[in-house]
Chains A and B, each alone.
Chain A
C-alpha cells in the first residue's frame, strides 16, 4: 500500500525548506568571513597561543594587589550607579507602563505614543546611547547613568505593561464596576497585583546593567570600565586581569543575591 500523495508532499516540502534554510545560513557565514578576511582555521589555531599569553600576563601579581583598593572603589561606584539607574528607570517605566497597558491606559493615543517612545529607548543599544550622550554631556558619570536609565526605561516599560495586562485586568474590571476611580484602581488593584513582577524585573535589570555599565564605563571614562581601559592601555595586564575577576565576582554575587530575594518575594 502506498502513502497518499498529499502526505508525501508535506514531508518533502518540510525537508526541502529545512535544507534551503541551512544552505542560506551556510552561504551567509562563508560569505561574511570572506568579506571580513576572517579565517576560521587561523582563528582556531591562535587559541592555544592566546591562552598561553593570558596564562603569562593575565595573572594578578603584587602590583595588581596594590591596585586592589582602587579597583574596589570603582567597582562599588559602578554597582551603585547601575542600581540607581535601574531604580529610577523602574519608577519611570511603571508610570509609562500604566499609560501604555491596554488595561489601564487613559486613552489609546497615550498608549501608542508611550509604546513608540519605549520602543526607541529599547532598540537603540545602551552603548549607542552612551555615545550619543557623550557628545552632549561629555565623559562623566551622568552620561553613563543616563544611557543605562534610557535603555532600562525602554525595556521595563514594555515588560511592566505586559505584566499589567496579564495579571491585573480582571481585578481592574471589578473595581471599575464598583465605581472606583482610575487612580484608586491603579493604586489598590494594579500595584499590589504587580508587586512581584515589578521587583523581579527590576532585579533582572540591575544584573544586566552592572554588566552593561562596565562596557559603558570604557566609553564614558568612568567606573570600573574606565579602570580596565587605563590598565589595559598602559600594558598593566595583571591589574586589568584583577578588574575582570572583580567584575565576575560582583556579577555572580549580585545574581545570587537577587535570586534569593526573588524566592522570598514570589
Chain B
C-alpha cells in the first residue's frame, strides 16, 4: 500500500522551475532515494511533502490524507508523523543532547507545556531509551556543540525517532560527514527502516551509496523525474542522463571509492 502518493506536483520560485509534473509513489516500509545534481529540485521535493515548502500545483497524499488541503492545526498534527533529518543536523547547538531529542515531542504537547519545556517522566524515559538505541547513552547531558558530526546526526535521528514517525525524510543526511561516520549513519538508517518498518525518503548526492542502501531510486533532472525503478537496475547510461555534464565527475568519484 502506498503511504505517500505524489501526483503532478509543480513548484516555481519566481522565475525558476524547481519541480514540474512530478509523480511518485512510496510504499510503506520502503527505502526510496532521490538522486540528481544540486539544484535539480530534490530538496524542494522533500520539503513539499511536509509543506516546509508550498507547492504550486498537484496533490500529495500521505496516510490517505490530502496534505495540501490541511489547515494549520491539522498540518502540525500530520507533521508529528513525519520525521526529518538534515544535512546540517539543525540542532540547537547550545542545548544538551536530551533537550534536543525532546524537541521532537513538541508537536504532541499543549502549547503551554511546550513553550515552558515541561516534559513528563514517561517522555524523558522514552528519550533516554532512544538515545540508548542510537548509542548516545553516555552523551545525554553533553551540549550538542561539543559532539562530532556523526554524533550530531545521531541526535538528529533520535529527535526524529521520538516522534514515532511513519515516514522519515532525510535531506542529504551524510553530506557533511566523513566517510566513516557516513557509513555508520547509513547503516543505522537502513536498520531503522528494516527493523522498525519506517518508510524512508532520502535525498543523496552519492549514487553508489544510493544503490547500495535503497530499495528504489528516483532520478530527478531539472525538476522532472527521469528514472523511477529498482536501485539495482540503475545503469551507467541512466546516471549520465540524470547528472548531465556532472556525470563524469560523479562516476570518477565512484571509481575512486
Q: Count of chain A residues with Cβ under 8 Å from any Cβ of B?
A: 22
Identify which of B77, B80, B93, B159 contacts A174 (C-beta below 8 A): B159
Query: Could you give, for residues 155-184 of chain A, a 1 whenever the CB lies within 8 Å of some chain B CB and a 0 otherwise?
Result: 000000000000010110111111111011
B236 to chain A, nearest CB (A): 35
* Among B26-34, B84-92, B182-190, B199-207, the stretch in contact with A: B84-92
A180 with B90: CB separation less than 8 A: no
**Chain A positions within 8 Å of B108 at CB level:** 179
Residues 151-210 of B at the A interface (beta carbon under 8 Å) = 156, 159-160, 163, 169
Identify which of A170, A178, A192 contacts B159 (C-beta below 8 A): A178
B110 to chain A, nearest CB (A): 9
Q: Is A189 in the interface zone, CB < 8 Å from B? A: yes
* Among B6-14, B111-119, B134-142, the stretch in contact with A: B111-119
Chain A interface mostly helix, strand, loop or mixed? helix
**Chain A positions within 8 Å of B99 at CB level:** 192
**Chain B positions within 8 Å of A181 at CB level:** 76, 106-107, 111, 114
B113 — nearest CB in chain A belongs to which residue? A184
Given A170-B88, A173-B86, A176-B52, verify A188-B115 contact (CB < 8 Å).
yes
Q: Is B42 in the interface zone, CB < 8 Å from A? A: no
A111 CA to B103 CA, complexed, in Å:
26
Identify which of B94, B106, B160 contacts A184 (C-beta below 8 A): B106
A61 to chain B, nearest CB (A): 53
Given A170-B90, A174-B84, verify A188-B103 contact (CB < 8 Å).
yes
Q: Is A254 in the interface zone, CB < 8 Å from B? A: no
**Chain A positions within 8 Å of B95 at CB level:** 192-193
A194 to chain B, nearest CB (A): 9
The 6 residue pairs across chains A and B that have the minimum distance between CB atoms: A179-B107, A179-B79, A180-B106, A184-B114, A174-B90, A179-B80
12 residue pairs of the A-B complex, CB under 8 angstroms, read A171-B90, A171-B91, A174-B156, A175-B106, A178-B80, A178-B160, A179-B77, A180-B107, A184-B115, A187-B114, A187-B117, A193-B93
